[in-house]
Amino acid sequence: MKLSTSGIGQQTNEGEKKCLNSELWHACAGPLVCLPTVGSRVVYFPQGHSEQVAATTNKEVDAHIPNYPNLPPQLICQLHNVTMHADVETDEVYAQMTLQPLTPQEQKDTYLPVELGIPSRQPTNYFCKTLTASDTSTHGGFSVPRRAAEKVFPPLVITDPLSRIFMPLWC
């Protein structure tokens, strides 16, 4: 699944339109994950990236990491795009970032952070729980602690038989 930081779904290679809600992505990533804002400056570590690629593809680190002797250990870059993804097979979430290295002169230029005053796109209320067999029922429901339900869901109106909870559509 893909979602650019602008929130607009993008076309996949198969021509099928997929989208992933930013709040859902952040809820799956966890409360400690914070993505940089498009236009901000970031530091890219090529060696660390190569090691992570080798580790996640289950290959030996020393055997498959290309050696670039003239490449500096870190590059100061400008972030041009962030795309949020979820692996179809594992549901693991990750972000793909498009970076452009800055020239030495651009690095010296005055930089005004673009993220000043921009509110976080992370969800304000969510609850995470690993479901177990004891959380499910034969009627298709599941149990969550009352405090979590009151924090996340709107109050139920018991007297209104037609009251329903409408959650935002994730896709």
Write out pLDDT tens, residues 35-48: 888 888 999 998 88
Residue 61 within a domain? yes
CA dihedral sign, ordered 50, 51, 55, 61: positive
Query: Of 78, 85, 79, 80, whose CA–CA distance to 9 is shortest?
Result: 85
pLDDT at position 64? 55
Between 81 and 52, whose confidence is greater? 81
pLDDT at position 162? 57
Phi-psi sector, 165: left (phi>0), alpha (psi -120 to 50), beta? beta
Q: Are 39 and 77 in contact (CB under 8 A)?
A: no
Distance CA 23, CA 29 (A): 10
At position 63, the amino acid (one-letter code) is A
pLDDT at position 161? 60
At position 110, the amino acid (one-letter code) is T
Q: What is the mean pLDDT of residues 118-127?
A: 59
pLDDT at position 9? 41
pLDDT at position 2? 43
Residue 125 within a domain? no
pLDDT tens for residues 12-29? 444 333 556 788 888 888
pLDDT at position 97? 93
Distance CA 97, CA 32 (A): 18
The domain of 52 spans 2-108
Residue 10 within a domain? yes
Residue 122 within a domain? no
CA distances from 39 to 95, 112, 114, 143 (A): 16, 10, 6, 42
CB atoms within 10 A of CB 145: 10
Residue 41 within a domain? yes
- Total count of domains within the chain: 1
pLDDT at position 118? 52
pLDDT tens for residues 88-99? 888 888 899 999
